[in-house]
């Protein structure tokens, strides 16, 4: 059952810029942190691996912003959440629908203080392919990578999908090679092709996503900086949104207008998925980049090199 | 107790890697290990396993 469907934009424009969509995750997690709770979500660690982490303050939480298009390593997250709940803490978990489903079954009836925000999920690529991609970018530049952003909204706008890789000498590469490989679906986890969670029967108390389709129904809201879609799926979710709502512009919308593919059914497994993995194992990543990532396919240069002003944050090992 | 070998999934499509089975196991018999594609899957240490089937019961891909 769906309690409500909203287009949501955080009132703080800086938060919208720093988030993947409209900053819904920040508004929700602020409520939990302000009441002394803890937040779990996905961050990129120092080696650019996607891992789930625990945050009990906003600085740690801010690292969870931005979509990492790779399967995150949960580590011992579920046991940590169980311990937090047993200690009486309020917990917000954010993750994929399948992670949320597993957590909820694991916690069972001890979850009165557990809130879950699941994403609408396209599917998760292999961490190995992400690592190979970064190594390839690093060897082309012969420089160490210092930062990686999967979908650089600031540089290209919310509607587009380019990754941004930053290097130790201050330069940046803007590329859609990884994005193209992702959207080809070859590197997705096998379970994503038989995913039972691609429906309106949601796992989270609230579902957060990109509000694709808003440009058709409320174009005045869409200035290409990012809009969240929020589905409220439970009484707990409604209570959380009631507290978070003051910090966002919320516009009720009709679900029919924002039904994206990932709310309906899984993608079919590519017929040549085996060929991809065979080639991934035996050929260089440059070959994968050309064949599956459209690297060098277009006449306009795909790699735009820019001077970066950002400071060095992470060093790849 | 039935000592039949515990099988968490027949095909890879049946496991999303959520770690619930590893978290629930009372004997710490389940560890998440990468396959040749780099995805984590649960692997049961037969010597530690108590055959309690808690891992099967908690799996969200078996509903
Ligand atoms: C792999 C993946 C696929 C997605 N597919 C779709 C889609 O098909 N359609 C759609 O509308 N939206 C999709 N999204 C969601 C969307 O990109 C935004 O993450 C979402 O709208 C939240 O935006 P925000 O501005 O509220 O949050 P932000 O502040 O940007 O927060 C990002 C949130 O995503 C979580 N997160 C980031 N990476 C991962 C990860 N690898 N695994 C689990 N959780 C993660 C963080 O914990 C955090 O809660 C996907 C996200 C991911 C990570
Ligand atoms: S598509 Fe389904 S199985 Fe794959 S990560 Fe998303 S929720 Fe999990
Ligand atoms: S059957 Fe019980 S002891 Fe064996 S792996 Fe599963 S949860 Fe652990
Ligand atoms: S609980 Fe099920 S889906 Fe989750 S990791 Fe274990 S076997 Fe895989």
Task: Give residue-wise pLDDT tens across range A64-105.
Answer: 999 999 999 999 999 999 999 999 999 999 999 999 999 999
**How confident is the model at residue A131, as a pLDDT?**
98
- Helix (H/G/I), strand (E/B), else coil: A123: coil
Burial level of B60, CB count in 10 A (0-12/13-18/19+)? Answer: buried
Lowest mean pLDDT among A21-30, A73-82, A296-305: A296-305
pTM (two decimals): 0.95
Asked if A33 and A61 count as a contact pair (C-beta separation under 8 A), the reply is yes
Shortest CA gap B4–chain A (Å): 23
**How confident is the model at residue B59, as a pLDDT?**
98
Task: Give residue-wise pLDDT tens across range B34-57.
Answer: 999 999 999 999 999 999 999 999
Q: Of the candidates B15, B34, B38, which has its C-beta nearest A129's C-beta?
A: B38
Residue B8 at interface with chain A, using a CB cutoff of 8 Å: no
pLDDT band at A40; cut points 50, 70, 90: very high
Say how far residue A306 (Cα) sits from the centre of its chain: 25
Q: Is the pLDDT of residue A302 over 90?
A: no
3-state SS, one letter per residue, for A245-304: HHHEEEEECCHHHHCCHHHCCCCCCCCCHHHHHHHHHHCCHHHHHHHHHCCCCCCCCCCE
Residue to substitute from A190, A275, A279, A288, interface B, most B β-carbons within 10 A: A190
Q: Is the pLDDT of residue B58 over 90?
A: yes
Q: According to DSSP H, which parts of chain A are helical?
A: 13-18, 24-34, 58-62, 77-86, 97-107, 127-141, 153-156, 177-183, 214-217, 235-244, 273-282, 285-293
Q: Is the pLDDT of residue A301 over 80?
A: no
Residues 6+ away with beta carbon under 8 Å from A259: A213
Distance CA A196, CA A100 (A): 13
Lowest mean pLDDT among A48-52, A298-302, B44-48: A298-302
Q: Which helix (H) or strand (E) holds A92?
A: strand A91-95
Mean pLDDT of A212-221: 92
Burial level of A264, CB count in 10 A (0-12/13-18/19+)? Answer: exposed
Give the residue, by CA position, lying nearest to ligand 4 atom 1.
Answer: B59
Task: Give residue-wise pLDDT tens across range A169-204.
Answer: 999 999 999 999 999 999 999 999 999 999 999 999
Q: How far is CA A222 from CA A8, A117, A210, in A?
A: 11, 24, 12
CATH number, domain B12-58: 3.30.70
Task: Give residue-wise pLDDT tens across range A233-291.
Answer: 999 999 999 999 999 999 999 999 999 999 999 999 999 999 999 999 999 999 999 99
**How confident is the model at residue A297, as a pLDDT?**
81
Asked if A148 and A163 count as a contact pair (C-beta separation under 8 A), the reply is yes
Residue pairs spanning A and B at CB distance below 8 A: 76
Starting from the edge strand earliest in sequence, which strands make up the sheet with A4-10, in order?
Answer: A50-55, A38-44, A91-95, A114-119, A206-210, A228-232, A4-10, A248-252
B39/A71 CB distance under 8 A: yes
A77/B12 CB distance under 8 A: no
Q: Which residues of B touch A129 (CB under 8 A)?
A: 38
With residues binned 3-state (H G I as helix, E B as strand, rest as coil), the percentages for chain B, rounded to 5, are 25, 15, 60
**How confident is the model at residue A49, as a pLDDT?**
98
Q: Of the candidates B11, B39, B60, which has its C-beta nearest A102's C-beta?
A: B60
Identify which of B63, B53, B62, B52 has the alpha carbon closest to the alpha carbon of residue B15. B62
Residue to substitute from A78, A181, A275, interface B, most B β-carbons within 10 A: A78
Pocket, ligand 4, Cβ cutoff 6 A: A 102; B 8-9, 15-21, 42, 58-59, 61
Task: Give residue-wise pLDDT tens across range A104-133.
Answer: 999 999 989 999 999 999 999 999 999 999
**How confident is the model at residue B1, as a pLDDT?**
54
**How confident is the model at residue B4, as a pLDDT?**
84
Residues 6+ away with beta carbon under 8 Å from A113: A37, A85, A88, A89, A90, A91
Percent pLDDT > 70 in chain A is 94
Mean pLDDT of chain A: 93
- If phi over 0 gives left and psi between -120 and 50 gives alpha, with beta otherwise, what is residue B53? left
Q: What is the ipTM of this complex?
A: 0.96
Residue B29 at interface with chain A, using a CB cutoff of 8 Å: no
B18/A193 CB distance under 8 A: no
Mean pLDDT of A42-57: 98
Q: Which residues of A touch B37 (CB under 8 A)?
A: 126, 128, 187, 277
Which 8-state DSSP code applies to residue A110? Answer: G
Q: Is the pLDDT of residue A305 over 90?
A: no
- Helix (H/G/I), strand (E/B), else coil: A184: coil
pLDDT band at A314; cut points 50, 70, 90: very low
Angle in degrees, CA A67, A262, B43, rounded to 5: 70
pLDDT band at A316; cut points 50, 70, 90: very low
* Paired tokens of A169: 């000498």
- Residue A176 burial (CB count, 10 A): 21
**How confident is the model at residue A317, as a pLDDT?**
41
Say how far residue B49 (Cα) sits from the centre of its chain: 10
Q: Which residues of B touch A270 (CB under 8 A)?
A: none
Q: Is the pLDDT of residue A312 over 90?
A: no
First and final C-alpha spacing in chain A: 46
Q: Is the pLDDT of residue A1 over 80?
A: no
């Amino acid at each position: 059952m769906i309690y409500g469907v909203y287009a949501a934009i955080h009132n703080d424009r800086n938060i919208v810029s720093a988030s993947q969509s409209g900053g819904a995750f920040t508004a929700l997690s602020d409520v939990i942190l302000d009441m002394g709770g803890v937040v779990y979500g996905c961050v990129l660690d120092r080696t650019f691996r996607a891992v789930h982490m625990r945050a009990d303050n906003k600085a740690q939480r801010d690292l969870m912003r931005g979509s990492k298009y790779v399967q995150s390593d949960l580590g011992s997250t579920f046991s940590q959440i169980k311990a937090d709940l047993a200690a009486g803490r309020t917990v917000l978990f954010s993750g994929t629908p399948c992670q949320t489903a597993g957590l909820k079954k694991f916690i069972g009836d001890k979850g009165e203080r557990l809130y879950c925000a699941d994403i609408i999920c396209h599917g998760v690529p292999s961490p190995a392919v992400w690592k190979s991609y970064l190594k390839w970018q690093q060897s082309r530049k012969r420089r160490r990578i210092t930062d990686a952003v999967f979908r650089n909204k600031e540089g290209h706008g919310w509607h587009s999908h380019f990754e941004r890789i930053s290097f130790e000498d201050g330069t940046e590469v803007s590329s859609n090679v990884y994005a193209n490989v992702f959207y080809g679906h070859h590197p997705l986890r096998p379970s994503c092709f038989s995913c039972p969670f691609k429906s309106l029967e949601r796992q989270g108390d609230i579902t957060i996503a990109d509000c694709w389709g808003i440009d058709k129904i409320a174009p005045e809201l869409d200035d290409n900086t990012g809009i969240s879609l929020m589905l409220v799926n439970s009484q707990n979710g409604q209570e959380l949104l009631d507290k978070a709502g003051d910090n966002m512009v919320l516009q009720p919308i009709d679900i029919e207008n924002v039904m994206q593919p990932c709310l309906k059914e899984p993608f079919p497994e590519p017929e040549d998925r085996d060929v991809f993995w065979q080639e991934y194992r035996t050929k260089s990543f440059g070959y994968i980049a050309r064949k599956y990532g459209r690297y060098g396919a277009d006449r306009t240069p795909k790699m735009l090199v820019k001077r970066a002003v950002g400071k060095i944050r992470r060093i790849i090992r | 107790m039935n000592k039949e070998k515990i099988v968490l999934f027949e095909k890879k499509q049946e496991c999303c890697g959520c770690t619930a089975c590893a978290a629930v196991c009372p004997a710490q018999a389940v560890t998440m290990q990468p396959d040749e594609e780099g995805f984590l899957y649960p692997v049961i240490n037969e010597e530690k396993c108590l055959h309690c089937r808690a891992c099967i019961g908690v799996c969200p891909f078996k509903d």
